[in-house]
Chains A and B, each alone.
Chain A
Amino acid sequence: MRLQRLLIPLLVVGALGALLVFGLLRGAPDKDIESVYLGQSAPGFSMELYEPYHSEYGPTFDFAEYAGRPMVVNFWASWCLPCYQEAPVLQEYWRQYQDSGVLFVGIHTQNRDHHADGLTFLSQFGLSFPNGYDPSSEISIDWGLYGVPETFFVDADGRVILKHIGPVTPELMDQQLKAMLQ
């Protein structure tokens, strides 16, 4: 009789405990929310490019124009420290892969009224792939950004195969670029 009564608190506490242990084990929340676009068509965008890229790509960049090419879409901001870490990595891989059909495009976002700071960033790293400005952050909101830097890998059919949060690493670039070009 007495032990039966023990059962109720035992069950409730046990269930709560199991839930909390799960919470402990899965680590910090919010860090790995999947993009809604994973496996879906990427939302397009069109933006004004920075001056150095006008000669080769024109004054504006329209995502739809480059359909059929796999793309690496990188979002950055001049105030974002990890963006400084990944910029040389991106430039290096662009240099290696620019003739393979993959297109790299960078978007300076979440930094209203700081057009000039973007130019400084670009010249500091000598980025030769097209970069443009998204002053109202509409593009980053359209793509469901949580912060910067974030990089999207889009295959030739226009589908998002990966959204990477944080600075890119050489390993990631190797892995994804190989996969995209198969």
Chain B
Amino acid sequence: MTLTRRLRAPALLTLAVTLALALLGVWASAQEVQLETRVFEIARQLRCPTCVSESVSDSSAPIAQQMREIIQDQLVQGRSEAEILAYFQTRYGDWILLDPPKRGIHLVAWLLPIIVGVVAVSVVVLLARRWLTNSRRPVEATPEELARVRSELGLDPTQVDEPRTGRTD
């Protein structure tokens, strides 16, 4: 009786420690997956320096692999995404960023679509307004045209009608 009770405590302790370690391991590996995803997310915003227009996340070039390791190290150290991007920016210039900073001339790349979009939508809105009023205006036809229509329809060409609201179909 006492033997089992004496054995129970260390057994429980071992179990508890094992469980804790297992959980720690799971948690750590879950962290690692998350870390890896973050590495590629950041790498996706950097241009691979030795490649022809590939991002650091896409490229298999050795320098891209090593840049990803640097990103990982810095993430582990607790640096933020902005800090890591700035790290490469100070070494390579703005060119290394695939998503150029929203300042200076780069701003044009972001603003231009918006400006053009606004202009285009306004143009279309104005046109649409004009077309909407068009549909309410009667179709203009010269008397000759009206006479011809009437004769084609087999009606008396000389009879004058009231103008109708035109439907162009």
**Interface, chain A (partner B; CB < 8 A):** 30, 33-34, 36, 43, 110-112, 136-138, 140-147
Contact = CB atoms under 8 A, between A and B. Distances in A.
Interface size class of B (residues with CB under 8 A): 10 to 19
B91 A143 contact: yes
A9 B48 CA distance: 38
Contact of B92 (A110, A136, A138, A144): A144
Contacts of A144: 49, 91-93
B93 A30 contact: no
B66 A136 contact: yes
Contact of B70 (A33, A111, A141, A147): A141
Interface string B92-108: 11010000000000000
Contacts of A110: 62-63, 66
Contacts of B49: 144-147
Given A145-B49, A146-B50, A147-B50, A137 B93 contact: no
Consensus secondary structure, chain A interface: loop
A137 B91 contact: no
A33 B95 contact: yes
B62 A111 contact: yes
A44 B70 CA distance: 18
A141 B63 contact: yes
A36 B67 contact: no
A137 B62 contact: yes
Contacts of A136: 66, 69-70
